[in-house]
Amino acid sequence: GAVVSQHPSWVICKSGTSVKIECRSLDFQATTMFWYRQFPKQSLMLMATSNEGSKATYEQGVEKDKFLINHASLTLSTLTVTSAHPEDSSFYICSAKTSGTDTQYFGPGTRLTVL
Amino acid sequence: AQTVTQSQPEMSVQEAETVTLSCTYDTSESNYYLFWYKQPPSRQMILVIRQEAYKQQNATENRFSVNFQKAAKSFSLKISDSQLGDTAMYFCAFMKHSGGSNYKLTFGKGTLLTVNP
């Protein structure tokens, strides 16, 4: 149980284009989802928290107009990197939790490379 | 704000031996959770063990156990009978207790553990 998937696992795009990453909870209702960014050999940095049906709460320094997050259902959240640039290249990881619990379950991550 | 410190960037251990990874944290909260996650080369984050701060008893999960010292704000992870599959980056993480908070995790910088045959 408590499986979280991400799609795609790896994406390459050209500078200036937008990329959408999906995060799905497969066997539980994800009332809250989180998006993290991880640079090579570094820790996870929380980008934003989203509750189903509500606007995402972004961490300080994260541009909400660049990293669009939608959490429209209890099983799906999407992160759209708009007008991507090479500095946006990174590993993006989502996690999800259900109400009444404190444990986050992580997706396998998405490697974004912007050329 | 909470901070989590892992003072050992890298560690190594021989297969079948025991290793302890250190973690300290700083918080003014009295009720919170602590976690250890592992991230193997596949980069999938896997929950290893969790501890609720109000519980004095140290959590254990098979070969994994913690030494939770609340007064010292220390939360070390002991891995017994180390296996090659334990090779991974280990992250210590802190979360405030719920009660309206948004369950944010604060991670340490990680410790890269290598288990040698």
pLDDT (tens digit, 9 = 90+) per residue, B56-109? 899 999 999 999 999 999 999 999 999 999 999 999 999 987 655 568 899 999
Kindly indicate the confidence band of residue A4, based on its pLDDT and cuts at 50, 70 and 90: very high
In whole numbers, what is the pLDDT of chain A averaged over residues? Answer: 93
Q: Which residues contact B73 (CB under 8 A, 6 or more apart)?
A: B24, B25, B26, B27
Q: Which chain A residue shows the shortest CA-CA distance from B96?
A: A102
**B109/A42 CB distance under 8 A:** yes
Residue B101: per-residue pLDDT: 55
| Smallest CA–CA distance from B42 into chain A, residue | A108
pLDDT of residue A22: 97
Q: Supply B38's token pair.
A: 């592992």
> Which pLDDT belongs to residue A100?
78
> How does pLDDT run across A58-77, given as a tens digit for each residue?
999 999 999 999 988 999 99
From chain B, pick out residues whose CB is under 8 angstroms from the CB of A50: none
Q: Do B103 and A93 touch (CB under 8 A)?
A: no
Give the chain B residue nearest A59 (alpha carbons).
B104
**DSSP secondary structure letter of residue B109:** -
From A85's Cα to the closest Cα of chain B, the distance in A is 23
Residue B17 distance to chain A (closest CA, Å): 26
SS3 call for B86: helix
Q: With bands split at pLDDT 50, 70 and 90, how would you rate the model's confidence at A51? A: confident
- pLDDT average, residue stretch A6-24: 96
Per-residue pLDDT for A88 more than 90?
yes
Mean pLDDT value of segment B38-64? 93
Cα(A105)–Cα(A2) distance, integer angstroms: 7
**Contact status of A44 with chain B (Cβ, < 8 Å):** yes
Per-residue pLDDT of B9-38, as tens digits, reads 999 999 999 999 999 999 988 889 999 999
Phi, psi of B106 (to 5 degrees): -110, 120
SS3 (DSSP) at B84: helix
What is the per-residue pLDDT for A40?
Answer: 86
Q: Is A58 on the interface with B (CB under 8 A)?
A: no
Q: Which of A57, A102, A109 sits opposite B95 (nearest CB)?
A: A102
User: Bigger pLDDT: A87 or A101?
Assistant: A87
What distance in Å separates the CA atoms of residue B114 and residue B83, rounded to the nearest whole number? 10
